[in-house]
A and B are shown apart, each in its own frame.
Chain A
Amino acid sequence: MGLQRSEEELAGKSRKAQLIQVSKNYRSVIRACMEDMHQAAISTRDPALQGQYSTQVSILSAMELIWNLCEILFVEAATAGALLLRLLDWVRLHVCDVDSMVREVLSSESPSKHKLFWNVVDVFVLQGRMDEARHLLSKEASANPTSMNMYKILDDLMKKMPVPSLGNTQTLTELELKWQHWHEECQRYLQDGTFASNPHMESICKILLGDEDAILEKKELMTTWYHFLVTRLLYSHPTVKPMELRFYAQSSMDLFLGGENSPEPLDMILMAAFEFEMHQVIKECSIVLSNWWFVAHLTDLLDHCKLLQSHNLYFGSNMREFLLLEYASGLFSHHSLWQLGVDYFDHCPEFGRVYLELHIERIPLSTEQKALKVLRICEQRQMHEQVRSICKIMAMKALRNNRLGSALSWSIRAKDAAFATLISDRFLKDYCERGCFSDLDLIDNLGPSMLLSDRLTFLGKYREFHRLYGEKRFPEAARLLLTLMTAHIAPCSFWMTLLTDALPLLEQKEVIFSAEQTYELMRCLEDLTAGNPDKQKFQDDDIETTKVEMLRLALARNLARVIVKEGTVEGS
């Protein structure tokens, strides 16, 4: 992510340094994983698991090997001179089969008597670790004074060997000249037979001269063809240019493998890298590695180095985007890593959004907290469709579980008026069936969310009517009731219930409804009954007709009383 964010920042040299740093970070992550795996492999007692972990460790170390090489060749784009140094570091870091042998010899009482002594010296020489080689040789020399002369010469040669330096203190041509001189000097000593009595030293001298056969003799100490390649380059072409690598690489591999073994996938990948065929590298890695992490991130890094030509794949996105999309899609199927997937999709300009929209709706929403997180992601990206659909899913779930308050809160979040209407209908249905409201804490406290849907408003107001009635504030209750009907807030199906609620008010000793109001009520009643004669609505005819009759009677009586009351002088 840090890499994506630093898009607009520094250009030029410092950008390169930044990219190298990012690459190093990736590598250290791989190494950390390797460490953990290694620990797990050692500590587990199950042999099958142990085998699995060990395989993982070797895969991770291969990944780091490849990444490191790519970093040297592509990201850092080391030039002649520096290139060799980097490659030497690379080899020293990764060819560690010999480390235990080295440790053994160094820690023994008198190293020069150890049977593997000369092997270790050879390893040092092959890896260009001159100082350490010389240090060991001095031990041999002090133990064996007869060869003092030979030792001195060899030591001198090794000390004087010109190597590329990083600090630009010498140009390539200078280095070449010096090296030429040195090479000739070594040649002379060899031909003079200075080292003839000690075959070990003689072979070292031959190695220093870059004699391929001599180097090949030490095959087991090098273990890999790329080690052979680097050693060859060190001792025959230290000023090798990046573009020349491919020839040496190919020949090194052929010489080393000698036609007995065929190259393995790892070898092919490294070869492609030496040939600077980036696409080939990525392609081979994709085939070999089972998971997209490596190729996706490597491609992204290379893309940021502006190294990948964006040739469009036939389905429209470039390679970087394609790989990132694949990787991120994989993340979404993971239970907890899906949040990271979101970030990846955000940085795929062409198809990221579409992929995200499709994936995010399919995340299983096991708890409300998870749903809230998903919603927040959608809202931040203005994905309104998804917000609505997720809220609807959660609200339906809540409704099925009879959690009407939760359902309402989800529909408020989605500003979903239709659903709010559904919920209110449910409440009203419950009321009709049971004769009282459930979840009073919700309805009493709807607040401004009441306005989300008409039905909800009706529910809130209706409840308020009941409250007013309970508090015996009859005039207000009456007014509210009337408004509910005349302002058409109440659904038609509910009018009968409302009118029935009006009955007790009509029957009160005190006159509550004014004449106007009574006329209104009568009109409502007529509207209600007039529209229904042909409908089969009133199944239980008796009860309904009785109700209607009672209402008519009550209304008429109320009208009479109120006319009288309003007609008299003291009447209000």
Chain B
Amino acid sequence: RPEPAVSTAWLGSPDNRISLWSAGDLGNAGLNGEYHGEPHLLCDIQHNGDVMDMQFLDQERIVVASSTGTVTIFRHHQNNQTLSASHQWEKAHYHVDQDTCSGGAACTGVICNNPEIVTVGEDGRINLFRADQKDAVRIIENADSSTLHAVTFLRTSEILTVNSIGQLKIWDLRQQRNEPSQIFSLAGDRVPLHCVDRHPNQQHIVATGGQDGMLSIWDIRQGTMPVSLLNAHEAEMWEVHFHPSDPDHLFTCSEDGSLWHWDTSSNVSEKPSFLHQGGRSTAYLSHSTINQSVVSAWLSNDPTKDRMEITNLIPNQTLSVNSLDVLGPCLVYGTDAEAIYVNRQLFA
């Protein structure tokens, strides 16, 4: 995503808008080398329905998922600072009701890998779009019998989805069959999973967040159950993100109003590297010989023993933190109190 720009959206008002803000100029250094500006509004545009998810497709375009089931691409015109809707897929997600003909179903998640866009929704459908094509490239109908809450790319042609019966599924988009290539699930109760993110460098490491606030780390090469379960928040975890350039850091935000920063970077120096003989890890799976040079801190046996630092970044929490994003030293999050916060010195 482009640097200091941040996009936000309003949930739940009949007057929903997509707004583009500049989070203050990071580039301009003042006399003492620092510049702190207030985020200010660059432009905004009306949006139909609640905004469930959004992502930058490229420097100028944003894809927005709506609660009406419509997926829209907005283009940001930098010369005159306006937003315009450049393309829309209506009824990307819909229910077929027995009584009425069909109503929109909320599109709950969108992920982009220019020019491909994948969306998932409450109708259990997975759509694959291309930014320049009018119709969907591929639609997987009834991919899931429950609501798909989030989606992310695993590799260029594989995606991960999480649903409301606690399952993590891998889909191979190259294959024609409408079945997931793999299904993972939690051991105990089928707690709904709300968010998913993949480690930026080591693609077998995946993090998911659940309705009970639990953070699960999975190694998708092995087993069907998570590597570790970390009791985190007291309520639904809405989003989880690995830091894109510094993946020893993970961020989670929750309905309970907190935003946690998980830091395993202190571990790195003490990791055994080559010739790791493996042995049994505590609960869930055994490390067989691992041919990687560095075993990621996320897959280690017991994060609490290995001194993972966890800090809550919000001093006075009140309402839910619905969404967050992180790039470089900058963290942005939005809450139900209709406020956006920008933290520009994350690792200070």
Residues of A within 8 A of B (CB): 1, 335-336, 339, 366-370, 372-373, 376, 400-406, 408-409, 412-413, 438-439, 441-442, 445-449
Contacts A336-B11, A373-B320 given; does A401 touch B145 at CB 8 Å: no
Q: In the docked arrangement, what's the CA distance between A409 and B146, Å? A: 8
B residues 11-48 touching A (CB-CB < 8 Å): 11-14
Contacts A339-B336, A405-B165 given; does A368 touch B97 at CB 8 Å: no
Q: How far is the CB of A266 from chain B (nearest CB, A)?
A: 31
Contacts A335-B13, A405-B164, A409-B164 given; does A438 touch B145 at CB 8 Å: yes
Interface segment, one of B186-194, B240-248, B293-301: B186-194
Contacts A368-B122, A376-B236, A445-B167 given; does A404 touch B145 at CB 8 Å: yes
Q: In the docked arrangement, what's the CA distance between A370 and B165, Å? A: 18
Q: How far is the CB of B244 from chain A (nearest CB, A)?
A: 25
Q: Which residue, A336, A370, A404, A449, has most C-beta atoms of chain B within 10 A?
A: A336
Q: Is the interface of A mostly helix, strand, loop or mixed?
A: helix
Q: How far is the CB of A39 from chain B (nearest CB, A)?
A: 13
Q: Which B residues are CB-close (under 8 A) to A438?
A: 145
Q: Which A residues are CB-close (under 8 A) to B166?
A: 447
- Can you offer 9 A-B residue contacts whose CB atoms are under 8 A? A339-B336, A367-B50, A367-B67, A368-B164, A405-B124, A405-B145, A409-B147, A438-B145, A447-B188
Does B255 have its Cβ within 8 Å of any Cβ on chain A? Answer: yes
Q: Which A residues are CB-close (under 8 A) to B255?
A: 372-373, 376
Report whether B10 and A376 are in contact in the complex, using a CB–CB cutoff of 8 Å.
Answer: no
Q: How far is the CB of A394 from chain B (nearest CB, A)?
A: 10
Q: Which residue, B147, B189, B255, has most C-beta atoms of chain A within 10 A?
A: B147
Size of interface on B: residues with Cβ below 8 Å to A: 47
Does B144 have its Cβ within 8 Å of any Cβ on chain A? Answer: yes
Report whether A445 and B183 are in contact in the complex, using a CB–CB cutoff of 8 Å.
Answer: yes
B residues 201-235 touching A (CB-CB < 8 Å): 211, 235
Report whether B185 and A447 are in contact in the complex, using a CB–CB cutoff of 8 Å.
Answer: yes
Contact with A along B89-108 (1 / 0, CB 8 A): 00000011111000001101
B residues 112-166 touching A (CB-CB < 8 Å): 122-124, 144-147, 163-166
Q: In the docked arrangement, what's the CA distance between A408 and B106, Å? A: 19
Q: How far is the CB of A374 from chain B (nearest CB, A)?
A: 11
Q: In the docked arrangement, what's the CA distance between A307 and B97, Å? A: 58
Q: Which B residues are CB-close (under 8 A) to A441?
A: 144-145, 167, 169, 180, 183
Q: In the docked arrangement, what's the CA distance between A409 and B165, Å? A: 6
Q: In the docked arrangement, what's the CA distance between A405 and B13, Å? A: 29
Contact with A along B272-315 (1 / 0, CB 8 A): 00000000000000000000000000000000000000000000
Report whether B236 and A372 are in contact in the complex, using a CB–CB cutoff of 8 Å.
Answer: yes
Q: How far is the CB of B284 from chain A (nearest CB, A)?
A: 15
Does B52 have its Cβ within 8 Å of any Cβ on chain A? Answer: yes
Q: In the docked arrangement, what's the CA distance between A366 and B12, Å? A: 9
Nearest 10 A/B pairs, CB to CB: A405-B146, A405-B145, A439-B145, A401-B95, A336-B12, A409-B164, A367-B106, A406-B146, A367-B67, A442-B145
Q: Which A residues are CB-close (under 8 A) to B99?
A: 400
Does B338 have its Cβ within 8 Å of any Cβ on chain A? Answer: yes
Q: In the docked arrangement, what's the CA distance between A123 and B88, Å? A: 62
Q: In the docked arrangement, what's the CA distance between A370 and B108, Å? A: 12
Does B346 have its Cβ within 8 Å of any Cβ on chain A? Answer: no
Q: How far is the CB of A431 from chain B (nearest CB, A)?
A: 14
A442-B145, A448-B189 given; name 20 further pairs at CB < 8 Å.
A336-B10, A339-B319, A368-B147, A370-B50, A372-B211, A372-B255, A373-B255, A373-B320, A376-B255, A402-B96, A403-B122, A403-B124, A403-B145, A406-B146, A409-B146, A442-B146, A445-B185, A446-B190, A447-B185, A449-B190
Q: Which A residues are CB-close (under 8 A) to B189?
A: 412, 447-449
